[in-house]
Structure 1
Amino acid sequence: MCLPLLFLIIGVTLGILTDIRIPDAYSDYLSIAVLAAFDTLLGGIRAQLEKNFDDTVFLTGFFFNITLAAVLAFIGVQLGVDLYLAAVFAFGVRLFRNLAMIRRMVIDQKLLTKFRKK
């Protein structure tokens, strides 16, 4: 759980401390990259809760997801099609699925801990 949270803290800190403006032409790319990054982050947290976190899988998944999302957005722009919406949909579904699984695992662990105390 340490590595995903570390990257989240670093990213939020860099975002707050810098005053970087992204041109409108790159907003689609950035929005998909952020969505892909959140998907990977939540997947890493879920893997940690399931006790099967692998930092190599996390790091390669992080960069692969962002690259794939950017390539889809680029191809879509070249074709004149909003192809990035496919990536938004795919990463959005995965993000909410990971979040739901994390929530359920945390609730189950709390209930289990509460049950053991009785």
Structure 2
Amino acid sequence: MIALVGLILGIILGAVWNINIPDKFSPYISVAIFACLDSVFGALKASLAKQFRVDIFISGFFGNAVLAAALAYLGDKLGVPIYLAAVIVFGGRIFDNFATIRRVLIEKAKSHQ
């Protein structure tokens, strides 16, 4: 539940504040956002499975974002678009977590009918 509240709060703050990010930082921001979203969806999945732990969520949220941005920076310095691999991996994990969340919610809704 904490993850969902944080996600909603982040979306609201992002919509209210008009922050322009320079184009040269967009690969780093994109992978950091994907990493954070991966953590949020993982937290929602863990919450539905009654396995959510705040310490795991916080460490994954910030750790994944920093690691993903660092890898994107390293790839940028090497001339290799590593950030694309991170976006693909995190995107796949987000969709996998969403599919699991959707199935769990549908099963819960069916069992309450």
Shorter-chain TM-score range: over 0.9
> Does residue 97 of structure 2 align to residue 91 of structure 1?
no
Structure 1: runs of 5+ lacking an equivalent: none
Letter in 2 for 1:59: I
- The residue type paired with residue 51 of structure 1 is K
Structure 2 matches for 1:73-92, cutoff 5 A? 73-92=72-91
TM-fit CA distance, 1:35: 0.8
Q: Give me the whole-angstrom Cα distance separating, in 2, the residues matched to 1:13 and 1:103.
A: 24
CA shift, 1:37, in A, is 1.0
**Normalization by structure 1: what TM-score?**
0.92
How many pairs were matched up?
113
What is the aligned-residue identity percentage? 45
Unaligned runs of 5+ in 2: none
SS in 1 for 2:112: helix
Taking structure 2 as the reference length, what is the TM-score of the superposition? 0.96
Larger Rg: 1
- In 2, the alpha carbon distance for the partners of 1:110 and 1:76 equals 45
Deviation at 1:16, TM superposition (A): 1.4
Runs of 4+ in 1 over 2 A off after TM superposition: none
